[in-house]
Structure 1
Amino acid sequence: MAEDESVPAPEVVALPSEKNEDVSNGDEIVRWSDGIEYRQMAFDSHIPVITVQQPGSMIDIPPCPDLSRYQSPYQWSATRKNLMTYLACSVNGVAAYASGSYASPEDQLRQKWGVSHAVFMLGITVFTIGFGVAPMILAPFSEINGRRPVFVLTGILFVAMQAACALTPTFSGMLVCRFLMGVGGSTFSTMVGGILADMWSSKERNTPMVLFTGATLFGTGLGPLVSGVIAQRLLWRWVFYVQIISSGLIVGLVAAFFSETRGSTILEQKAKAINQWYDKLDALGVYLQDDRPTSDSQHPYHRIRYTTNNPKPSVFKMIGHSLYRPMHMLVTEPVVMSFSAWISFAWAILYLQFGSVPLIFSTSYNFSLEQTGYVFTSQCVAAIISTVLHIRQEPFMLKYYPSKMTTPEGRLLPTCIMATFLPISLFWLGWTCFPSIHWILPTIAVGIATMGIFSIFLAVFNYTADAYGPYTSSALAASGVCRNLLGGAFPLVVHPLYLNLGFQAASSLLGAVAVVLTLVPVVLVWKGPRIRERSRIAKEFVGKEG
């Protein structure tokens, strides 16, 4: 500020005699230490920015940092939140794309490296292992350093490993690169849920979560669709070159436009920026005037610093915690256990299609690689239809059945119907894939299966978040590990299952398992409150839904 000789020189303020003494100062916690008043940083904290110089001094005061950069993500504009949502869903889509594109150049690569079908499909298995296990290690780093650095760095690893896959001369090199690609892409799936929760309140979160699910299933279908055409017409390396271009573009946009969304990290950055400015003022002998009434209003001039007062455990302790709690919940929580089995089987069917669709359609209809790739168009279309339906579903339920939507179980009511699409589609596919029946019928069955998987995926995320509150991440981590490991294992058994049992018997067997697992949401709608009340973790949220 300009020099104002009417302002008296600041007095020396008498401080509490005991250092680190915590006292109340309005709605903030203040800690005095070595003549400095430490205040708790919050998004609504009052930040003194009025500077006071000694009379007669002519000091060039450094400008206050731009604090608008450190706004709560909940208070961001709708445009900014939508941009962040689209970016997060886009990177999730390219990760899903990468998981399904690997199988398309199978013939070229098996001939090049002389491996069997089962051995070649290990490329999908190792990808899902990295995809499922890595978040258990990476999640603590996002807790400490924020989401953006982990998101960007793993994105760079993801793109780099795609380039390595395109250039590797050996099958073992391909497996290593696929595993590391899964590690890099894992945050694009597991961290997106947390990013959306950082920005959108629970009442606003349905549409973003639906878009996230839609991007996952659309990308999973787009991978074999596009890669089937590429592998038919070009060399196998172009399957990965196209991924490098598309993923590199999306990751570049993330690096350029993705903002930190984790609230505690933003507050730490805000406190650091303010404290650095205050340090410069102290060095120049410039004081701050707190223009808000305080508990010590007779002495408005303070040496102030801000702290988040949020000590964090070591990385190793957080990793141990991240590994232990999900596995503990998996074996002790009936809801987590049943949901993990349900979504794992659904995910296994999704990955099974990478091998079953080409096998069924090439055998029954003599489809080429490119033509079998086109079958996955039904998966992409189904993902779009499901996205539209689920966006409209919650407003419909809130309008006509508002009382049902006040509990986690009420949200499962539509799923009890739509989840039946998965067993129906499996029987449908198996008993319509005869050469005498038009290929469009089994193709539609693939789309119907996608709609069922979509409903299951979204129901697991929403119910878990409603039932477990702050323990949601651990519960979802448990189901995430299970679904990725089982999903990666199923492509290895495609040929033995379908060739030994036959298309009809194999599909019927899978359909029967799906029928049993479809009882999971029915049981939870019926007995869910009682089951949660018996849970040591979920019971504290019973009666607090809504």
Structure 2
Amino acid sequence: MSELQLVKTKDSTEQFSITTTPQEEKEDPYLVKFDGIDDKEDASRLSRLHKWTIVGIISIGSVCVTCISSSVALAMPHIMEHFHVSHEVAVLNISFFILGLGTGGCFLSPISEFHGRRIVYIGGLATMIAFEFLTAFSNNIGGVIFGRFMSGFFGSSYMSVASGSFADLFKANKQAGKDANKELTLAMVLYSVAPFLGPSLGSLISGFINTSLDFRWTFYVFIIWSGVLLLAVILFVPETYEPINLRRKARRLRKATGDDKYYAPIDKLERNLFATVLTSCQRPMLLLFKDNMTALLNLYTGFTLAVVYLFFVAFPYIFSTVYNFSLSEQGLSFLGLVVGMVSTCLISPYFIDKGYVALLKRNNGVGKPEFRFVPLCVGAFIVPAGLFIIAWTSYPHVHWIAPIIGSAVYGSGTILVFNSIFAYTVEAYRLYAASAMATNSFTRSVMSCVFPLFGLQMYKGMGIQWATSLLAFFACILIPIPFLFFKYGETLRSKSPYTWNVD
């Protein structure tokens, strides 16, 4: 009997793959499938231009959502003055958006398994815009913060199903051949830049807006951007999820032939949305509390990204007090992070693959998930190095470019840490990879939510140099983790009920 088999995409989001037995395909003429004949609904057969237009729209959407997360960083002085609230309350506008962004995927991603990608993109983005209006026009700080949380929750639609859409578009078939895998890899590289580029770019844009306009234009600008994106999705992004498109083909055939016997595999699906959402929320928590490897890797990525979000509080303080930067110049101080992250995202895949192949040759062609830790072993030193540069060059007599270079170094280390841990997680937790990644996302979101809340107090109390050094010292404590996992990872995996073991 035909069934929908759960498989993992390149970033380990779950999606269904249609599996049928040869006997069934031969015996059941009413089972609808894509066979190269009259496949109007098959998204993998769209033109190359249309496919890359879709990739571009989804990637830009991810940049927009992550931009919004940090967009209020340089609007906080105005928010504090307008609503008569403390700095801690104003920072909640950053923290709650991040929390929403991290938790929304658990609820929105399963919807795509039953109703397709397009409805998640359009519904998520439209609802996000609605809550952006609440944020922009509310005269109550509680309403603004609630609007920020819900905007992040529904904006996570772009983060939760994007890779599934790319896998749909660049699915290998006779027409696409081997080029499909190459294009999928290129699409994922392009998309992987977006979540890291967005937060830094959001602060940069916010700096220019809040220099000469009312702080509410911080929200208006992103409402306009989101609205243009929604229109682009409606016009240019069709449904790409194969089970849903097969259902549409079955409906078309039933209407054209008048025969109601035609059906798609998803029509026989016995799962329900509630059970899927429950599983997507429950298993990540079990992984977090019952698997020590997961906990440590989550701590590493959580700390690394949380420091990035702490910078949205720390950088305005550093560059305004030490270098007397204006708001727009404070926004430009995030260019170092942008350059470091984007350049490493684009360059590192080549060197990472090269290092992995070298380790494969040394191990007689037998791969191990631990080989993925090589970039992390490098990034483990780069992350604290970048923090120490920021810490001990932030003096009036040292040129302002020095701490910005330090932030670029830190940004580069961040990408190496994330790429390595994500690749290891997908390979080591094969069966539970989606849950492991959801756990990682949740941990990162909680830590990134908390760090900005105490960042300014820490910098004022300890001083710029020692506050940043404290972060660097903690990063140094984490250095042994990749080396220990590289050496003993296989043994640790054999004791875990969740990881995949080569034996």
* Structure 2 length-normalised TM: 0.87
- Alpha-carbon contact 1:409-1:524 (below 8 Å) kept: yes
Which residue in the other structure is 1:42 paired with?
Answer: 33
1:350 is aligned to 308
Report what 1:337 is aligned to: 295
1:291-370 → structure 2 map (5 Å cutoff): 304-308=261-265, 310-370=268-328
Residue 432 of structure 2 aligns to a residue whose secondary structure is helix
Task: Specify the SS of the correspondent of 1:68.
Answer: coil
Deviation at 1:487, TM superposition (A): 0.2
Quote the Cα distance in structure 2 between the aligned partners of 1:179 and 1:140: 20
Q: How many residues align?
A: 471
Q: Which residue of 1 aligns with 2:154?
A: 184
Deviation (angstroms), 1:203 = 5.7
AA partner of residue 191 (structure 1): V
8 Å contact kept, 1:130–1:179: yes
CA contact (8 A) 1:278 1:305 kept: no
- 1:371 pairs with one of 329, 338, 358: 329
- Distance between the aligned counterparts of 2:476 and 2:163, measured in 1? 28
For the pair 1:85 / 2:46, whether they are aligned, the reply is no
**Mapping 1:8-407, distance limit 5 Å:** 26=23, 28=25, 30=27, 39-44=30-35, 67-71=39-43, 73=44, 78-200=48-170, 204=182, 205-279=184-258, 282=259, 304-308=261-265, 310-397=268-355, 402-403=360-361, 406-407=367-368
- Contact 1:70–1:270 (CA under 8 A) maintained in structure 2: no
Would you identify which runs of 4 or more consecutive aligned residues in structure 1 move more than 6 Å? none
The answer as to 2:459 corresponding to 1:495 is no
Tell me if structure 2 keeps the 8 A contact 1:91–1:250: yes
Aligned-pair distance for 1:349? 0.5
Q: Does 1:434 align with 2:395?
A: yes
Deviation at 1:24, TM superposition (A): 8.1
2:369 aligned counterpart, secondary structure: coil
SS at match of 2:74: coil
User: Kindly, what percent of the aligned residue pairs are identical?
Assistant: 29
CA distance in 1, matches of 2:185, 2:391: 34
Q: Residue by residue, what CA displacement relative to the aligned partner does 1:249-269 show, whole Å, maximum 9, x if unpaired?
A: 122212221132333222222
Give the distance between the partners of 1:278 and 1:338, measured in 2 at CA. Answer: 58
Name the residue aligned to 1:542. Answer: 502
> For the residues of structure 1 that align with 2:307 and 2:129, how far apart are their CA atoms?
27
Query: Relative to 1, partners in 2 of residues 1:275 and 1:101: Cα closer, same or farther, differing over 3 Å?
Result: same
Give the 3 Å change call, closer, same or farther, for CA 26–317 of structure 1 in structure 2.
Answer: closer
- 1:326 Cα deviation (Å)? 0.8
Q: Deviations over 1:84-130 (max 9, x none)?
A: 32222111100110011112111111111111111110111111121
| Structure 1 equivalent of residue 474 of structure 2 | 513
The alpha-carbon distance between structure 1 residues 109 and 146, as it changes in their structure 2 partners (threshold 3 A), is same
In the alignment, structure 1 segments of 5+ residues that lack a partner are 1-22, 31-36, 48-65, 283-302
SS at match of 1:121: helix
Q: In structure 1, how many angstroms separate the alpha carbons of the residues matched to 2:426 and 2:249?
A: 29
User: Contact 2:289–2:295 (CA<8 Å) still a contact in 1?
Assistant: yes
2:93 and 2:208 map into 1 onto residues whose CA distance is 20
User: Does the aligned pair in 2 maintain the 1:423–1:514 contact within 8 Å?
Assistant: yes
> Structure 1 counterpart of 2:319, which letter?
F
SS at match of 1:535: coil
3-state SS of paired residue (2:77): helix
**Higher Rg:** 1
CA–CA separation in structure 1 for the residues paired with 2:237 and 2:351:
30
Q: What residue number does 2:9 align with?
A: none
8 Å contact kept, 1:532–1:542: no
Aligned partners of 2:116 and 2:244 also within 8 Å: yes
Give the 3 Å change call, closer, same or farther, for CA 459–261 of structure 1 in structure 2: farther
Mapped partners of 2:431, 2:57: distance in 1: 25
Distance change (3 Å), C-alpha of 1:451 and 1:445 = same
- Offset, 1:415: 2.9
CA distance in 2, matches of 1:224, 1:388: 22
SS of the residue corresponding to residue 536 of structure 1 reads coil
CA distance in 2, matches of 1:200, 1:521: 33
Q: Structure 1 CA distance, aligned partners of 2:53 and 2:244?
A: 20
Letter in 1 for 2:216: R
SS in 2 for 1:409: helix
Partner of 2:16: none
Work out whether 1:483 is the aligned partner of 2:467: no
Question: Could you tell me how far apart the structure 2 residues matched to 1:526 and 1:320 are?
Answer: 36
Q: Distance in 2 between matches of 1:38 and 1:89?
A: 40
The alpha-carbon distance between structure 1 residues 200 and 522, as it changes in their structure 2 partners (threshold 3 A), is farther
Per the TM alignment, residue 199 of structure 1 is displaced from its structure 2 partner at its CA by: 4.1
Separation in 2, partners of 1:119, 1:306? 54
Distance in structure 2 (CA, Å) of the matches to 1:493 and 1:173: 23
> Could you tell me which amino acid in structure 1 is paired with residue 203 of structure 2?
P
- Residues 1:428 and 1:464: Cα distance change in structure 2 (over 3 Å): same
1:426 to partner: Cα distance: 1.1
Whole-angstrom CA distance in 2 between matches of 1:173 and 1:24: 54
The answer to whether the 8 Å contact 1:130/1:182 transfers is yes
Whether the aligned pair in 2 keeps the contact of 1:213 and 1:457 (CA below 8 Å) is no
Offset at residue 401 of structure 1 (A)? 5.2
Distance in 2 (CA, whole Å) between partners of 1:39 and 1:409 is: 47
Matched, 1:420 2:381: yes
Q: Distance in 2 between matches of 1:359 and 1:121?
A: 14
- In structure 1, what is the Cα distance between the partners aligned to 2:154 and 2:233? 14
1:274 touches 1:306 (CA, 8 Å); kept in 2?
no
Higher helix share: 2
- Structure 2 unpaired stretches of 5+: 1-19, 172-179
